[in-house]
Amino acid sequence: MKEQKKDESTSPKTFQETVEELRKVVHEHRVCWEVLPERIPVKEEQPLKVGFDLMLYGTHEVGEHPTPGCEKCKEIYRDLRKIANWIIPKEERHSRYEISIYESAIRYNRIRGNRPDVELTIRILHRSEYNQPVDECEALCLNEMKAKLTELGAQEKRWKETIN
């Protein structure tokens, strides 16, 4: 009896294959991240912190002169979305996650050396009662996502080349 060869193009990737693929993407686009508070206004008081915005940034290759909405920008966004989908908790929790849609924009920030960045935001909020202060669930989810980003080699705020 002949042994049938698996079609690798349709076989599911192993966890390790997925991680390795995402690590390459992180390095190729020099992916950085930062966290900003998600706030809502409250009458006559300081705005209430109700969640987090986990911002992912990927950039063009050094020396490229990108234009907003170019094919490379779209590719970077698609890759950032793959990362976002991988780091978001899969089981249902008391929090929910919203991934921003693609914006045809390039962002420059001195924190990242004014490089031409494509941005993706993951909003972490309460599943219900959106106007409640941040709780353990949102903080735990954020910390899990940050740990996964670190596992992939993404760097907080600014990309620093590492020597292997």
Distance CA 18, CA 83 (A): 10
pLDDT of 35 strictly over 90: yes
Residue 136: inside a domain, yes or no? yes
Residue 112: inside a domain, yes or no? yes
Percentage of the chain modeled with pLDDT above 90: 65
Tokens linked to 38: 């998600």
Residue 150: inside a domain, yes or no? yes
Q: Is the pTM of this model over 0.95?
A: no
Residue 163: inside a domain, yes or no? no
Distance CA 40, CA 16 (A): 40
Helical packing angle, 136-152 and 15-29, nearest 10°: 80
Residue 6: inside a domain, yes or no? no
pLDDT on residue 163? 53
8 Å CB contact between 38 and 21: no
Give the number of domains in the chain.
1
Tokens linked to 145: 């996502």
For 78-103, write each residue's pLDDT tens digit: 999 999 999 999 998 889 999 999 99
- H or E element: which one contains 137? helix 136-152
pLDDT on residue 11? 55
pLDDT on residue 14? 87
Tokens linked to 137: 């669930």
Residue 17: inside a domain, yes or no? no
pLDDT on residue 164? 53
pLDDT of 130 strictly over 80: no
Q: What is the mean pLDDT of residues 32-36?
A: 97
Instruction: Name the pLDDT band for 16 (thresholds 50, 70, 90).
Output: confident
Give the domain extent around 112. Answer: 29-156
Q: What is the mean pLDDT of residues 95-120?
A: 94
pLDDT of 6 strictly over 70: no
pLDDT of 1 strictly over 50: no
